[in-house]
Amino acid sequence: MTSATTSPADLAGEMRLPRRSAPLKPLFDGAEWDFALINRVYDAMGDIALGEMGLDIYPNQIEVITAEQMLDAYSSIGMPLMYRHWSFGKRFAYDEAAYRKGHRSLAFEIVINSNPCINYIMEENSMTMQALVVAHAAYGHNHFFKNNNQFQQHTQADHIIDYLSFAKTFVADCEDRFGQEAVELTLDAAHALMNQGVSRNMKIRARDPAKREFQREMARRDYEEQTYDVLNRTLPQINRGEPISPASAAQLGSSAAEQRKLGLPEENLLYFLEKNAPKLADWQRELLRIVRSLSQYFYPQRQTKLMNEGCATFVHYEIMNRLYERGQLTDGSMLEFLHSHSSVVFQPSFNDRRYSGMNPYALGFAMMRDIQRICIEPTDEDRAWFPAFAGNNDPFGTLREAWANYRDESFVLQYLSPKVMRDFHLFALRDEAKDPAVRITAIHDEQGYRDVRRRLSRSYDVATQDPDLQITDADLSGSRRLVVTHTVRNGIVLDKGECERTLQHLARLWGYRVRLIEVDGESGRVLKEHEVLPMP
Amino acid sequence: MQIVDRRLNPKSKSLGNRQRFLRRAKAEIREAVKDAIKSRKVSEIDGGEKVTIRSKNLREPSFGLGRGIGNRDFVLPGNEQYKVGDAIPKPPNGGGGGKGREGSADGEGQDEFSFVLSRDEFLDLFFDDLKLPNLVKVKLKDLKVSKPARAGFSADGSPARLNHVRTMRNSLGRRIALRRPTEAEIKALEDELAAAEGRSPLDEAVVAELARQLEHKRRMRKTIAFIDPLDLRYNRFERVPKPTTQAVMFCLMDASASMTESLKDLAKRFFMLLHLFLTRHYREVHIVFIRHTSTAATVDEETFFRGTETGGTVISSALDEMLRVVKQSYSPADWNIYAAQASDGDNFHDDMPRCMQLLSKEILPVCQYFAYIETAHGERYSDTLETQVWSGYSELEDTASANFAMRRVTSPEDIFPVFRDLFSASGMAAA
């Protein structure tokens, strides 16, 4: 959670201190904090979050860190452990420069989807901020991680830390054995294809991957050692792909049968390369696998940014307000909290200099508060739009259901109400390449609600943000050429320079010629072709 | 719930990543450091630096959708006036209505990248260029040049530092205060007891009393140690930051047009290195810049490196100027005087004898060290042609004192050998 640089006045109009239902018996007063106090506050919040709101969380582990350690954590994509790579150093240098210059403030907290759930909090925070952060991360994000089906399907919270630790040692080990440069070449290439390293429809097996990897690796080494032969070493290297007899090679070609055998078309480029690239050594395949697993791990986070932050923001708002009502927060703390909260959920207009896209905190929080309102005091409009839950008087149950079963795209499509669209003054635009102007296609009015909602929902679909790339042909017996097809939507082809540099990486992994065809999704016309050879 | 305090964990977890990153962009960073050296003052060499690099090696490409092409739908917040069908003209550069893309570390396509090099990293690169020996690098990078100095006494320390006088004084005082019986007292008592026992008639009471006293004293002597750990005193030493002395460094340079920008750049590194060395050894280092053509003047650093003048070349004018400044402000009794001269080797032939005279009779005797570099383009002195100044100074080097060094320099790595004696003899070993 970072706070936008805004004045609290932006939302102050609608913020009013709630009424207290119990005499003031504050948990803390002032900015100072210690471990025992955080523990007490955590327990008090547990009453509300687990008892009243019915949240279901992984056990928490709260770790106190310094600003410098926070920067460290940034550079390793927020993970407590990470293998070494120069790009993380670049990130660190960049973040550090921005932080030192004061361009950017640090996040108050980082939370990791693991079991137990690891929450980093900063030592500089005041006690009120620590309380906010604990409510936000240790209850809000934690509940979302544990219950959202995207996370349940694609990630294994129990094993991620072990897996990272395996990855780190494995990469370090490879660096020792094969040299930093060689490892870097493979990792660079794998990173370039990271977004194409996700299997969108795969369910992962619930076994301990770190242990499994470790055993696989050990088994492979044992095999190498057992079969090591000084004489064999002098023979020319044979690729261990598939030994193909000339006869079968002739009849195979790149037939449908072979394609089926390779599982083509394949959307997960890294997976395909790991399994089928002819020239890769085993350790290189393992590196691809590591990068692919990380990509898979982060995939749900990309799909649920809005919901995840919305859920956490809603939970912290609810908890802090309930604490206040129970007389456990002082007025001063409450005002400090409201200040931070309102700058976090601030949404600048599109023509504002501060605008940098939809603020997921703002929209997510507004939608969830709205669902709460619809459950408790629906208007006629709400009854018409949301007959399923309007007035059911069970806001937390309704929200838990939404948190568990939706991702950003479907959540917006299902739950965005006319009221929120009006509040945000949402409007839809269409930008056509040949048109010199951008056209307004729908606004927040009776005719436009559904249109605006549908288009906003589309923009949250990760599949529309990433290009649709698939491996469609791989000729393993003949020219060994790999063919990747980009299905172009709306005439948006790939960025040329980036595409060619990335293809170079792809070709390095594949080891032979790679061709990329951009085909228009509707007409099937070939729009562009790129072809690269691996550089020696 | 469990709270873990990670604040004390080892810092800079990402150091390994940073080293990999710096190695990756080494060529570009080196260029950036070179530029930085050009713009830095001689006295400012010792610090970090923000560098901006463009590097192909730092690109992280990925498949991304092209911009400004095709058809897109998007939704924005904050509509105030628009109705369906309204048209907003696109900005000329084709950016899609407000979808500003911020440059970020992971954003694609941005090549320019700035970050801060730490002092150590900066000096490393500076030294790399100069090909300094490792020991010298370490010494120059060490911020704390210090030497031990006596600083009173302490109650603990290593046995080698035991201060016997203090320890014994404490011991004596304690023994007196606690009334520890001396050998003599006991001896006297023993004698008295023997006498009493030998006397007849035997006075039992006296003997018993004396025996009791003797026993008591003996016990006292046993229980009260001669030297108690309490008495021990050790000499204490403190690392005193630097010799509290001062030095002045004269930079002499030929400012005639034959000194090109790149020659001056070489000279600048030469001056920087000397300055770095001096700041390690003296608390206060002054720099005097003297440039000369046929006349010499004391100037500020900017003019020293930037300006060129036309005119002949008379080196003795600079030496005269240096002597004048020394007489005026830097008495050799109070200041350590160092001089560094850079020139391309031209001088009026008639001037050489006077230069030699000045150097050997007046300047070298008051200087700690006088270093001369002759900067030349590579091709210029591949032959055996000797310049005026070189042949003149060569005699000095042969005859004169250990505090004179000269060197021809075509690239930064040639600079260090000029200082080799300085760094090994007077300075680094002793420091």
Question: Could you tell me the CATH superfamily of domain B246-428?
Answer: von Willebrand factor, type A domain (3.40.50.410)
Chain B residues whose CB is inside 8 A of the A502 CB are 61-63
Confidence tier at A49 by pLDDT (50, 70, 90): very high
Least-confidence region, from A35-49, A227-241, A283-297, A355-369: A227-241
More confident residue, B233 or B396: B233
pLDDT over threshold 70, residue B424: no
* DSSP-H helix ranges across A102-159: 127-133, 142-147, 149-154
User: What is the tens place of the pLDDT at every residue in A157-186?
Assistant: 888 889 999 999 999 999 999 998 899 999
B407: enclosing H helix or E strand: strand B404-409
> Which among B6, B17, B79 has the least Cβ separation from residue A65?
B6
Quote the pLDDT of residue B426.
45
Q: What does the block give as tokens for B346? A: 């031209």
Q: What does the block give as tokens for A59? A: 């056990």
Q: Which residue of chain B has the CA closest to A192?
A: B62
A532, A503 contact by CB (below 8 A): yes
State whether B63 and A72 contact (CB < 8 Å). Answer: no
Chain A residues whose CB is inside 8 A of the B1 CB are 39, 42-43, 59-62, 138
Query: What value of ipTM does the predicted structure carry?
Result: 0.78
pLDDT over threshold 80, residue A473: yes
Q: Which residue of chain A has the CA closest to B14?
A: A72
Cβ contacts below 8 Å, chain A against chain B, sum to 268
Chain A residues whose CB is inside 8 A of the B17 CB are 75-76, 84-86, 88-89, 92
Nearest CA distance, A424 vs chain B (angstrom): 5
Confidence tier at B345 by pLDDT (50, 70, 90): confident
- Average pLDDT rounded to a whole number, residues A36-65: 92
State whether B80 and A501 contact (CB < 8 Å). Answer: no
Percent of chain B whose pLDDT exceeds 90? 12
Enumerate helices (H) and strands (E) in chain A, giving the number of each: 25, 9
d(CA B213, CA B205) in angstroms, rounded, equals 12
State whether B7 and A123 contact (CB < 8 Å). Answer: yes
Instruction: Give the closest residue to A188 by CA, choosing from A487, A505, A406.
Output: A505
Residue with tokens 């006596």: B150
d(CA A410, CA B408) in angstroms, rounded, equals 75
User: What is the tens place of the pLDDT at every residue in A175-223?
Assistant: 999 998 899 999 999 999 998 888 876 555 445 566 667 777 777 777 7
Q: Name residue B423's amino acid.
A: F
Q: Which residue of chain B has the CA closest to A77?
A: B106
User: What is the tens place of the pLDDT at every residue in A394-429?
Assistant: 999 999 999 999 999 999 999 999 999 999 999 999
pLDDT over threshold 60, residue A3: no
Quote the pLDDT of residue B413.
77
- Average pLDDT rounded to a whole number, residues A341-366: 90
Quote the pLDDT of residue A506.
92
State whether B75 and A184 contact (CB < 8 Å). Answer: no
Instruction: Select the residue from A35, A350, A354, A452 to test the B interface by mutation, using most B Cβ atoms within 10 A.
Output: A350
d(CA A233, CA B248) in angstroms, rounded, equals 67
> Which among A68, A437, A502 has the least Cβ separation from residue B89?
A437
More confident residue, A68 or A13: A68
User: What is the tens place of the pLDDT at every residue in B83-99?
Assistant: 888 888 877 654 444 44
Chain B residues whose CB is inside 8 A of the A84 CB are 16-17, 20
> Which among B77, B89, B90 has the least Cβ separation from residue A350?
B77
Chain A residues whose CB is inside 8 A of the B88 CB are 429, 437-438, 440
Q: Residues near B164 by Cβ (< 8 Å), separated by ≥ 6?
A: none
Least-confidence region, from B181-190, B192-201, B217-226: B192-201
Please tell me what DSSP assigns to residue A517. E
Q: Residues near B320 by Cβ (< 8 Å), separated by ≥ 6?
A: B296, B358
More confident residue, B126 or B175: B175
Chain B residues whose CB is inside 8 A of the A449 CB are none
CB atoms < 10 A from the CB of A22, how many? 9
Q: Which of residues 285 through 304 in chain A touch B, CB cutoff 8 A?
A: none
pLDDT over threshold 50, residue A9: no
Using a CB–CB cutoff of 8 Å, tell me whether A277 touches chain B. Answer: no
Q: Are strands B246-254 and B284-292 parallel, antiparallel or unpaired?
A: parallel
Q: What does the block give as tokens for B332? A: 């050799």
State whether B80 and A66 contact (CB < 8 Å). Answer: no
Which residue ranges make up each domain of chain A? Answer: 21-148+304-344, 360-464, 467-532
- Average pLDDT rounded to a whole number, residues A330-334: 91
Q: What does the block give as tokens for A377? A: 């005091």
Instruction: For chain A, report the end-to-end CA distance as a whole number of angstroms.
Output: 45
Please tell me what DSSP assigns to residue B155. S
Residue with tokens 């000045």: B358
Using a CB–CB cutoff of 8 Å, tell me whether A55 touches chain B. Answer: no
Q: What does the block give as tokens for B86? A: 């309204």
State whether A93 and B68 contact (CB < 8 Å). Answer: no
Quote the pLDDT of residue B150.
86
> Which among A59, A92, A447 has the least Cβ separation from residue B17?
A92
Residues facing residue B286 across a β-bridge? B248
Q: Which residue of chain A has the CA closest to B1?
A: A60
> Which among A43, A62, A92 has the least Cβ separation from residue B3?
A62
State whether B80 and A430 contact (CB < 8 Å). Answer: no
Q: Residues near A483 by Cβ (< 8 Å), separated by ≥ 6?
A: A471, A472, A473, A474, A514, A515, A516, A517
Residues facing residue A482 across a β-bridge? A474, A514
d(CA A268, CA A299) in angstroms, rounded, equals 13
d(CA B44, CA B61) in angstroms, rounded, equals 38
State whether B19 and A192 contact (CB < 8 Å). Answer: no
Nearest CA distance, B241 vs chain A (angstrom): 30
d(CA A74, CA A110) in angstroms, rounded, equals 9
CB atoms < 10 A from the CB of A175, how many? 18
> What string of DSSP letters covers A29-49?
-SS---HHHHHHHHHHHHIII
CA B321 to chain centre: 30
3-state SS, residue B146: coil
Using a CB–CB cutoff of 8 Å, tell me whether A525 touches chain B. Answer: no
Long-range contacts of A355-361 (CB under 8 A, 24+ apart): A355/B78, A355/B98, A355/B100, A356/B100, A356/B102, A357/B99, A358/A306, A358/B75, A358/B77, A359/A4, A360/A305, A360/A306, A360/A308, A360/A309, A360/A310, A361/A1, A361/A309, A361/A310, A361/A313
Using a CB–CB cutoff of 8 Å, tell me whether B89 touches chain A. Answer: yes
Instruction: Give the closest residue to A189 by CA, choosing from B59, B82, B81, B83.
Output: B59
A71-89 as b/e: b if 16+ CB within 10 A: bbbbbbebbbbbbbbbbbb
3-state SS, residue A343: helix
Chain A residues whose CB is inside 8 A of the B29 CB are none
Nearest CA distance, A294 vs chain B (angstrom): 16
User: What is the tens place of the pLDDT at every residue in B382-421?
Assistant: 445 667 777 778 877 776 566 788 888 887 777 777 777 6
Quote the pLDDT of residue A55.
93
Using a CB–CB cutoff of 8 Å, tell me whether A35 touches chain B. Answer: yes
d(CA B139, CA B132) in angstroms, rounded, equals 11
Using a CB–CB cutoff of 8 Å, tell me whether A67 touches chain B. Answer: no
Pick the most confident of A277-286, B24-33, B197-206.
A277-286
User: What is the tens place of the pLDDT at every residue in A55-78?
Assistant: 999 999 999 988 888 888 887 777
User: What is the tens place of the pLDDT at every residue in A495-525?
Assistant: 888 898 899 999 999 999 999 999 988 888 8
> Which among B20, B70, B75 has the least Cβ separation from residue A86?
B20
pLDDT over threshold 50, residue A11: no
Using a CB–CB cutoff of 8 Å, tell me whether B106 touches chain A. Answer: yes
Mean residue pLDDT of chain B comes to 79
Which residue ranges make up each domain of chain B? Answer: 16-38+45-55+112-130, 159-236, 246-428
Instruction: Give the closest residue to A197 by CA, choosing from A282, A264, A296.
Output: A296
Quote the pLDDT of residue A376.
93
Quote the pLDDT of residue A514.
92
Q: Are strands A117-122 and A109-112 parallel, antiparallel or unpaired?
A: antiparallel
Chain A residues whose CB is inside 8 A of the B4 CB are 61-64
Q: Which of residues 1 through 30 in chain B touch A, CB cutoff 8 A?
A: 1-7, 9, 11-14, 16-24
User: What is the tens place of the pLDDT at every residue in B31-77?
Assistant: 888 777 777 777 777 777 777 777 777 888 888 888 778 888 889 99
- Average pLDDT rounded to a whole number, residues B181-209: 88
Peptide bond into B159 cis (omega under 30): no
Quote the pLDDT of residue A210.
64
> What string of DSSP letters covers B328-395?
HH--TTT-EEEEEEEE-S---GGGHHHHHHIIIIIIHHHEEEEEEEEE--GGGGSSS---HHHHHHHH
Using a CB–CB cutoff of 8 Å, tell me whether A355 touches chain B. Answer: yes
State whether B72 and A490 contact (CB < 8 Å). Answer: yes
